[in-house]
Chains A and B, each alone.
Chain A
Amino acid sequence: MIHLTKLLESLTFTYSTNSKIELLVEYLKKRNIEEKGYTIALLTGNLSFKNIKKSTLLNVLKKELDNYLFEQSYDYVGDLAETVALIWPKKNISKKISLHKIILDLRNSIDVEHTILEYLNNLTSQERWAFIKLILGGLRVGFSSNLVKKSLAIYGNKKINEIENIWNGISPPYQSLFLWLEDKGNYPSIEISKTFSSFMLASSFDTKQIINIKETDEYFFEYKWDGIRVQIVAYEGKTIVYSRSGENITNSFPDIKVNSSKLLVLDGELLVGKNFLPFTFNHLQKRINKKKPSAAQLLALPAFVKVYDILYLNGEDIRNKKLYERRKILENWFSINKNYNLDISKLVKFYSKKKLENLYKKLPFIEGLMIKKKSSQYISGRKKGYWYKWKKDPKYLDAILMYAQRGHGKRSSFYSDYTLGVWSENTVIPIAKAYTGYTDNELNKIDRFIRKNTIAKFGPVREVKKELVVELAFDDAQKSVRHKSGIALRFPRISKIRWDKPASEVMNLEQIKKDLLITLN
Chain B
Amino acid sequence: MKIRYGENCAKKFQIIKYGERIYIDGIYITLFPAGHILGSAQVLLEKKDYKILVTGDYKTTLDKTSQKFELVKTNTLVTEATFGLPIFCHPRPIEETKKIINSLKSKPHSNHLIGAYSLGKAQRIISLLRELGYSKQIYIHGSMTKINNYYLSKKINLGKYIQVDKNNINSLKGEIILAPPSALKDIWSRKISNKIIGMASGWMNVKQRAKQKLIELPIIISDHADWNELTKTILDTEAEKVLITHGQEECLKYWCKKNGIDAEALNP
Contacts and interface: CB of A to CB of B under 8 A. Distances in A.
Interface of A: 9, 12-15, 66, 68-69, 72-73, 76-79, 82-83, 86-87, 91, 129, 140, 406, 408, 412-413, 451
B19 interface: no
Contacts of B14: none
26 contacts: A12-B207, A13-B207, A13-B216, A13-B217, A14-B216, A15-B214, A69-B86, A72-B251, A73-B86, A73-B87, A73-B251, A76-B87, A76-B206, A77-B87, A77-B208, A79-B207, A86-B87, A86-B88, A86-B206, A87-B87, A91-B89, A406-B185, A412-B214, A413-B185, A413-B187, A413-B189
Nearest to B255: A69
A408 B208 contact: no
B255 A413 contact: no
Contacts of A412: 185, 214
Contacts of B85: 69, 72-73, 76
Contacts of B216: 13-15
Contacts of B248: 72, 76
Contacts of A14: 216
A86 B205 contact: yes
Contacts, number: 66
Contact of B190 (A66, A73, A87, A413): A413
Nearest to B185: A413
B87 A413 contact: no
Given A73-B86, A87-B87, A91-B89, 20 more contacts: A12-B211, A13-B210, A13-B211, A13-B215, A14-B216, A15-B214, A15-B216, A68-B254, A69-B85, A72-B250, A72-B254, A76-B85, A76-B87, A77-B206, A78-B208, A86-B87, A412-B185, A412-B214, A413-B190, A451-B187
B207 A69 contact: no
Which 10 A-B pairs rank lowest in CB-CB distance, beginning with the nearest? A86-B87, A73-B87, A413-B185, A87-B87, A13-B216, A72-B251, A87-B86, A69-B86, A73-B85, A413-B190
What's the interface size class on B, roughly? 20 to 34
A317 B195 CA distance: 52
A77 B258 CA distance: 23
B218 interface: yes
B186 interface: yes
Contacts of A87: 86-87
A15 B215 CA distance: 9
Contacts of B190: 413
Contacts of B208: 77-79, 82, 140
B110 to A, nearest CB: 12
Contacts of B186: 413
A87 B85 CA distance: 9
A321 B238 CA distance: 87
A68 to B, nearest CB: 6
Contacts of A77: 87, 206, 208
A2 to B, nearest CB: 15
- A9, A66, A68, A69: which has the most chain B beta carbons within 10 Å? A69
- A14, A86, A129, A451: which has the most chain B beta carbons within 10 Å? A86
A82 B207 contact: yes
B33 to A, nearest CB: 28
Interface string B53-76: 000000000000000000000000
Contacts of B87: 73, 76-77, 83, 86-87
Contacts of B217: 13
B116 to A, nearest CB: 18
A74 to B, nearest CB: 9
A73 B83 CA distance: 11
Interface in B147-206: 185-187, 189-190, 205-206
B85 to A, nearest CB: 5
Contacts of A69: 85-86, 251, 254-255
A76 B185 CA distance: 25
Contacts of B187: 413, 451
A498 to B, nearest CB: 24
A406 B185 CA distance: 9
